[in-house]
Amino acid sequence: WYTERELPYHFGALFEGPPGCGKTSFVKAILNYQRWKCREEEGRELRAGEHDHVVCIPLSRVKTNACLTKIFHTEKLNRHRIPMYKRIILLEDADAQSSCLKREEVSGKDDSGQSTPFEAIDVPADGEVSNKSLLQFMHKETKKMGLPLVGGMTPNQDPVTLSCLLNLMDGVIEIPLRIFITTNHKSKLDPALYRPGRMDIDIELTEAARDDVHGMYCWFYKLGTLAPEVVSRLPHKTMCHAAVNNV
């Protein structure tokens, strides 16, 4: 279908709402739908290799852009070879994950009157800077920034950035990608993360409505319906679905 229409194989979904309102359950239901559809329409169970695999990425534990890129581009994960088109990338509780999901603020100050770092190096008359002078300067600047020093200098650790994640999701290098993002507070995320083209659908899940509570109660106790006077006393938009399920 995608090939015929010359579209990239990409699907993104953002699920937002308070804790306990079914964001993760929604994702599980989508994953189980494939198994149900195969059983109902073809009368068989999924064969080996037909299952979709969820790759849950805890961004707070991914330290470098190189590591993040490897997760997106390497077929072998945890000793298993998983084709890219069989993966579903899951970023749970994105608002509580790494600060890289916030776009870095750009200072609006005019620094034109300030000297650049390299102007602080003593340049001899012949205009050539020795390796020793340059190394001493880099050592001094690195200490000033509070970076660790190993063997005199440490290469850039390349921490995970929002730009890297966005390019992996929807960059020049196209990869067959399905990505689900859940968040309690959409307003805390950078808008570039869920703009059209990266996220195809944006679903807000709220507290349980009265009809939801009614349906859950009847399903659990195998009842057809409740009396209207009972239904009218059920809570409406005051409890999350998880709380209703625990009652």
Rounded to an integer, the average pLDDT of 44-58 is: 78
- Residue 74 belongs to a domain: yes
What CATH number does residue 90 fall under? 3.40.50.300
47 in the same domain as 71: yes
Per-residue pLDDT at 208: 95
- Residue 155 belongs to a domain: no
Tens digits of residue pLDDT in 57-68: 988 888 888 888
Q: Which domain holds residue 16?
A: 10-103+160-206
Q: Report the predicted TM-score, pTM, of the whole model to 2 decimal places.
A: 0.72
3-class SS at 8? Answer: coil
Per-residue pLDDT at 104: 52
Torsion angle in degrees (nearest 10) through CA of 209, 187, 160, 147 = -130
CA–CA separation, 201 and 72 (whole Å) = 21
And the tokens for 2? 């995608």
Q: Nearest Cα to 235, choosing from 167, 35, 155, 216?
A: 216
Please determine, for residue 120, whether its predicted confidence score (pLDDT) is greater than 60: no
244 in the same domain as 182: no
Average pLDDT in the chain: 79
Question: When comparing pLDDT for 140 and 21, which is higher?
Answer: 21
3-class SS at 136? Answer: helix
Which residue is listed with tokens 């059983």?
39
Per-residue pLDDT at 108: 44
193 in the same domain as 245: no
CA–CA separation, 166 and 133 (whole Å) = 39
213 in the same domain as 201: no
A 10 A CB-CB count for 94 gives 23
Please determine, for residue 114, whether its predicted confidence score (pLDDT) is greater than 50: no
- Residue 216 belongs to a domain: yes
Among the residue ranges 3-7, 73-77, 105-109, 145-149, the one predicted with the least confidence is 105-109
- State the pLDDT confidence band at 130, using cuts at 50, 70 and 90: low
- Residue 147 belongs to a domain: no
- State the pLDDT confidence band at 122, using cuts at 50, 70 and 90: low
Which residue is listed with tokens 């800077």?
129
A 10 A CB-CB count for 137 gives 16
